[in-house]
Amino acid sequence: MEATNALESGPKGFTILYRILTAMMLIAVIPIGGLWFISIHKAKQDWTENVFQALVQDTSALANRVDEWTEFNLRLLEQNSKSPAMLSMTAEGQNPILKSIQDTYDWVYLAFTVQPDGENIGRSDGKEAKFYGDRDYFKQVMGGKTIGKQLLMGKTSGKPALILAKPILSERQKIQGVLAIAMTLEDLSKAVTETRIGKTGYAILLDENNRLLAHGLGRVKNQLQDMSYHPVMQYREKLAGSNFVFTERGKKIVAYKFKTRMGWKLIVQQDYDEAYSSAVKSKNQSLILLAATLVSVVLMAYLLANHLATPIRRLTKIADDISKGNLSADIGERDRGDEIGALARAIERMGVSLQMAFDRLRKKK
């Protein structure tokens, strides 16, 4: 009696429909999910490499502009230091050349010469001679360096200014004096500030002592700012595609640094979110496509599982009816060419056999 009631109440638990559905989903979803994970991982690696290479290229291109600017000024010094008038080491011979340099190049606000004892000889501004023997650029040249340089704050502009110096050499390559030019960095700063990477990316130029020369956001103050705190400057190892992401003041950035020929440091940085915006967009689109694919797979799996489970349920119902004596039930699946059709025909034969057995029993009575 209990068995009959259990049969009448229908199947319990994890029915064949859900078993077929689960099996089909596992077969379809696992490969799709695996392929999606691999493709997303590979896409992230590719995007990371692309972002890094873009930073390297932007930094290198800007560094070339900085190097070209400094090389131009060094050539200017080199050419003029060899002229006969400059070799005369007299104010009368040198002043016309120094004045011409200042008048020709807008960024040069002073061109001057210094004797080996530190005393000023010629000046482009016509002012009284001064003593320069205590200046770093002078000491560097007199100490044997081919280039002397010193960064200082301009008294008039209140902005960083640069002094470049070259030795004035005799025919025997003996130092007769020093030729120097004092320059504003406005043209150089303009090249830095005009460099934009997307909406949030910019460049920073530092001297060899990590003092700020130019900032893409115009943050140059009336003092020489120490930028050693920048996370890129604190990172001592060589930057690569695996270590160019930093946190600056609580904000995630991507950044790269490059050393110029003058020993200056050039940093190019960009907000992480903007740098990876296309990657995030591509990932979101992939997630949408994956979700749509999974929904389609589940729907198709359900339809197919239901297509298989429904006739089995009908045959189960017919078999139940036959067990209760209803031998006239119509078996609609017997024309199918698969296993379900074979089961339907077997149930049909069972019903016929039972009908024949019942007929024989009635005749004997």
Query: Thinking of the domain 82-184, which architecture would CATH place it in?
Result: 2-Layer Sandwich (3.30)
Q: Break the chain into its structural domains and give their ranges.
A: 12-42+279-364, 82-184, 189-275
How high does pLDDT run on average in the chain? 85
Fold match between domain 12-42+279-364 and domain 189-275: no
Token pair recorded at residue 186: 């406005």
Q: Are strands 120-123 and 148-153 parallel, antiparallel or unpaired?
A: unpaired
**Which CATH topology does 189-275 take?**
Beta-Lactamase (3.30.450)
In whole angstroms, what is the distance from residue 272 CA to residue 289 CA? 25
Burial letters 263-299, b for 16+ CB under 10 A, else e:
ebbbbbbbbbeebbeebeebeeeeeeebeeebeebee
Q: What is the DSSP letter of 2?
A: H
**pLDDT per residue as tens, the chain (365 positions):** 444 444 444 455 567 667 777 777 777 777 777 777 777 777 778 888 889 999 999 999 999 999 999 999 999 999 999 999 999 999 999 999 999 999 999 999 999 999 999 999 999 999 999 999 999 999 999 999 999 999 888 776 677 889 999 999 998 899 999 999 999 888 888 888 888 888 999 999 999 999 988 888 876 666 788 899 999 998 888 898 888 999 988 899 999 999 998 899 999 999 999 988 877 787 777 778 777 877 887 788 788 777 777 887 888 888 888 877 777 777 777 777 778 788 888 888 887 887 787 778 777 76
In whole angstroms, what is the distance from residue 272 CA to residue 266 CA? 19
- DSSP states of 318-344: HHHHHHTT-TT---GGGG-SSHHHHHH
Token pair recorded at residue 311: 């006739």
- Identify the pLDDT of residue 100: 95
Phi and psi angles of residue 208, each rounded to the nearest 5 degrees, phi first: -70, -15
- Identify the pLDDT of residue 4: 44
Please report the sign of the dihedral spanned by the C-alpha atoms of residue 226, residue 231, residue 237, residue 241.
Answer: negative
**Which CATH topology does 12-42+279-364 take?**
Helicase, Ruva Protein; domain 3 (1.10.8)
| Structural element, H or E, at residue 149 | strand 148-153
- Identify the pLDDT of residue 96: 96
- Identify the pLDDT of residue 259: 92
- Identify the pLDDT of residue 13: 52
In whole angstroms, what is the distance from residue 7 CA to residue 319 CA? 11
